[in-house]
Amino acid sequence: MGLTELVVANGRLVTPDGVRTGAVHVAGGRITAITDTPVPAATVIDARGAYVLPGLIDSHVHFRTPGLRHKEDWAHGSRAALAGGVTTVLDMPNTVPPTLDPEAVAAKAELVAGESLVDYAFHIGVDPLRPELLADLDPAVAVSAKVFMAGHHTAPTVVRDPMVLDKVFAAAAAGGVRLVLHAEDDALFELLDGWRGPVGAYADYERWRPRSGPISAVAQVIRLVQRHGTRAHILHLSSAEEADLVAAAASAGLPLTFELTGHHLSFTDADTRRGGARTRLAPAIRGRADQDRLWAAVRAGEVSTLGSDHAPHTTEEKTRPVADAPPGLPGVQELAVAVWTGMRARWPDEPADVAVRRLVRHLAEVPAALFALPGKGKLEVGADADLVVFEPAHRWMFSAGDVRAKCGWSAYEGWTMTGRVARTIKGGTPAWDAGTGLFGAPTGRRLVAGA
């Protein structure tokens, strides 16, 4: 339940119809009016000089419950989300045990209840031994089904057999389930590992997990979507070739979309060679030309969603020998400001109103529509009162002291950021204030797709 009444006044409102100055009125946890002139209210937040965005949606987080809470938990992860303007997260299934059936999702939901400061829903994992479960999946259980086509330290359930993968796509099509995919070719990697052996240095990491892996997997996905008509969303594209393939498939009318991550837009393989474990990721970070192609996909609107792939590990885990260090980094807090910083640096002459509409589209409107999250993603009357006061020109340096994730580190430490989340409001109640560093209460609720 939100406050009795709240007004966020004098900001540049980023609405589906455009950007304009005005006030957002909130009561009972919903947006009740959007006006040009504020009226008296119990609480007024002055957003002068800032944009007012709908609460952002990170559709790709690993909050590590159950079984891996030494790396992250919902108390810390949801605070990191709010500090980054994210009010809704969609959590991935590769936990311990993995969430591979409705009973496991229900057990996870019970653990999360009362701990999260943000609203949430779940992706269910695809069990290669029971692909038929997807044909009868209740949308109230999960917003999509996650397929790992390649394995790593925290991905134990990998669909390696092409015949099983075909059954997964067929069952998902029959059940109307959207698949989200970690698309890398595990068999290809296994072949290369048998030839080269384990990686021994970060200077070799990108070559050890080369672009041929995801390119091969994306080609497989396209053929399966063509065959079955399955709705599919490919996660964390890393190369120019992948972006070209998926954009071509979408242009041909296939129900195929893709995500880009903040880290693939922010870093290159030179950062991994220099910094090692911090940007050891799966898929690997590629070169400058690939990064340029991914940014071109952002500017052209080819990308559907921006996600953090928030996947924290402890510093002890990340500093193990190269072959044993798990891939992943924290990112839900950094996502929006990192993308905004990148846009303003790459396209400095672009009007800020154009850039902010792009940010809202891919971090709010499209994920809300793609994963059927009613009330989310738009600044409009009747929507949930999830709001972000975003200062677009604020310059600041991201430091270890800013990190809200449980792991306590960030690959962005030392970055000078453009743009700051000054306030986050969830359900009509102030939930984060950058000025005071204070958070609200854990009032996050589980969302049901389409309800």
Span 157-209, pLDDT tens digits: 899 999 999 999 999 999 999 999 999 999 999 999 999 998 999 999 999 99
26-35: b or e for each residue (b if 16 or more CB lie within 10 Å)? bbebbbbebe
Mean pLDDT for the chain overall: 96
Side-chain-side CA neighbours of residue 15 (13 Å):
20
pLDDT at 450 over 90: no
Give CA–CA dist 168/146, Å, rounded: 11
Contact 407, 73 (CB under 8 A): no
Span 298-314, pLDDT tens digits: 999 999 999 999 999 99
pLDDT number for residue 53: 98
Residue carrying the six token digits 């004098």: 10
Taking each helix axis from N to C terminus, what angle separates 162-175 and 212-228, rounded to the nearest 10 degrees? 50
Give CA–CA dist 51/387, Å, rounded: 10
CA 53 to chain centre: 17
pLDDT number for residue 154: 67
Q: How many residues does the chain have?
A: 451
Among residues 240, 309, 314, 302, which one has the least CA distance to residue 92?
A: 309
